Amino acid sequence: MQVQIFSSSSAAYDVLILPVSSGKALTNAGQEIDAARKGVLTQILEKADKFKGDKGQTFYSDLNGDEQYKGVLFFGLGEVQKLKTLDFETCGAKVFTAVKGKGKKVAAALEGFAEDRSVAAMAEFANGARLKSYRFDQYKTKTKKDDGVDVFAVIGGKDASLASNAYKEFAAVTDGVFEARDLVSEPANILNPVSYAKRVKAMFKKLDVKVKVLDDKKMEKMGMGAIVAVGKASETPSRMVLMEYNGLGKSSKTPEAAFVGKGVTFDTGGVSIKPGAGMEDMKFDMAGSAAVVGLIKALAGRKAKVHVVGAIGLAENTLSERAYRPSDVLTTYSGQTVEVINTDAEGRLVLADTLSYVQDEYKPKTIIDLATLTGAMMVALGEQYSGTYTTTKKLYHDLERAAEATLEDVWRMPLHKAYDKQVNSPIADMRNLGTSRYGGACSAAAFLHRFIEDGTEWAHMDIAGVAWWKADTTFVPKGATGYGVRLLNQFVADRYES
């Protein structure tokens, strides 16, 4: 869907979208449109009993015989003075849902609709609508759904050009969200570690991001025994991709923060094979990496004033005579050894080498990793929150604040030496599976913690429950959510840019 922001337009549209505040009050712009139609809109509003102009309400009516619009969709704002960024985004998303299926070209007349906040509010509204418009249907050759909106115009009057500039920032972030959703939606025969690395390299050619790809041979030589082992069985072996974005210029030598993602392009479980039912879901096991790619794309796209690095560990966990197996002892890039108890606990192995390499190479003060790491996390928190482990209260606090502003929720989980004890091995430095049946997400976090150097501020976000949703939510049509992009973009803006 294309968002266009004009000062005025005499083109014909399928639907006119009009804001209404509490008590069904039209804006000045709305009143002008109404007057030109001899009060038809006011009459429709008067007849709509249930529609009161409350925040989030919508009401649609045909406009018989109107020369410019086939129908009108009113949406409620409630008390406009009280609304914030998230409210306008939410409004936009709700309006998109209500207008979907009513026409290909729609226009929202928003001039002055949020009083002195109208410029930003228009951008936020348009962004909310676009977030909800996402679809992934490129593999449907016959029955593509025909209810999409092609053009979403915002008519902004004198504020249009400022609103259009403000919108560009939001659009860059949403481009990042869509990139993440696309990557997660791709099936595993299309997106494998090799094609994924190529795609990232190509994507950032146009943006100011330095991309480095380590292939399996190089990683093997460098001593990355864990990520290489996980991808060993696959025809498309492991890759690590580093994406450095420096929006601060020469004054900044090292990135302030690193974002690290699990990129298992398909997780069969390997020799410790998963049950067949539902295994197709495991194409999403690279959602952490997709969030990192989307985030870097968002930051570079909006030219954020920050220096960061993204690192993704890519591997396909599958079966062949070359597969790694339970009982194997792997030597990681950190030098620490790991006894493999279960080849399905592969994410932590991929992340171990990626985390170590990032610290070694870039020395960031702060690291945040994202991973669809454990089913146990879903058992604990369901599909609403990512389980977020942090070494400092401050980091959790900053993430929580960003979560509240983006509707990408976090919930704090514990790092405790009791979980750490559970990953000791009698024959190696550690094992890749906790000894207890319980608290699997926490022992996984404890395992990762062993690869974080003292003094590095670290967060681990287990996103197993939030990376893919089976039903629509405010900004997310069902499917890949793109969780993490908006959240971490907000975190970066709050923490490093203001």
Active-site annotation, residues: 274, 348
Rounded to the nearest 10°, the torsion over CA 25, 31, 33, 36 is 130
Residue owning tokens 């429709």? 44
Q: What sign results for the dihedral spanned by CA atoms 354, 358, 360, 364?
A: negative
Q: Is 209 helix (H, G, I), strand (E, B) or coil?
A: strand
Residue 371 identity: A
Q: Is 347 in the site for ligand BES (CB under 6 A)?
A: yes
Interface stretch with ligand BES, choices 194-202, 233-241, 300-308, 337-345 (CB under 6 A): 337-345
Site for Zn ion in 336-375 (CB under 5 A): 344, 346-347
CB of 372 vs Zn ion, minimal distance in Å: 6
Report the first-to-last Cα separation within the chain, whole angstroms. 32
Q: Is 287 in the site for ligand BES (CB under 6 A)?
A: no
Half-sphere exposure of residue 384: CA atoms within 13 angstroms, side-chain side:
5
Q: Which is nearer to ligand BES, 173 or 467 (CB)?
A: 467
Which does residue 464 touch among ligand BES, Zn ion, none (CB within 5 to 8 A, set by kind)? Answer: ligand BES
Q: What are the residues whose beta carbons fall under 8 Å from the beta carbon of 275, sequence distance 6 or more? A: none
Q: Which is nearer to ligand BES, 368 or 464 (CB)?
A: 464
Q: What angle do helix axes 85-99 and 118-132 make, rounded to 10 degrees? A: 50
Q: Is 464 in the site for ligand BES (CB under 6 A)?
A: yes
Q: Which is nearer to ligand BES, 268 or 334 (CB)?
A: 268
CA 1 to chain centroid: 18
**What letter does residue 215 receive in the DSSP assignment?**
E
Q: Is 425 in the site for ligand BES (CB under 6 A)?
A: no
- Contact assessment for residue 215 and residue 201, using Cβ atoms and an 8 Å cutoff: no
Integer angstrom CA distances of residue 104 from 101, 128, 134, 477, 482? 8, 18, 15, 18, 25
Q: What angle do helix axes 485-496 and 393-406 make, rounded to 10 degrees? A: 120
**Site pattern 211..250 for Zn ion (x: CB under 5 A):** ----------------------------------------
Among 87, 124, 159, 267, binds Zn ion (CB under 5 A): 267
**Site pattern 281..300 for Zn ion (x: CB under 5 A):** ----x---------------
Q: Is 308 in the site for Zn ion (CB under 5 A)?
A: no
Among 4, 195, 342, 456, binds ligand BES (CB under 6 A): 342
Which does residue 34 touch among Zn ion, ligand BES, none (CB within 5 to 8 A, set by kind)? Answer: none
Among 440, 479, 482, 484, binds ligand BES (CB under 6 A): 440
Q: Is 267 in the site for ligand BES (CB under 6 A)?
A: yes
Q: Is 439 in the site for Zn ion (CB under 5 A)?
A: no
Q: Which is nearer to Zn ion, 132 or 348 (CB)?
A: 348
CA angle 22-405-478, nearest 5°? 85
Site for ligand BES in 355-374 (CB under 6 A): 372-374
Which residues here bind ligand BES, judged by CB under 6 A?
267, 285, 342, 344-347, 372-376, 378, 433, 440, 464
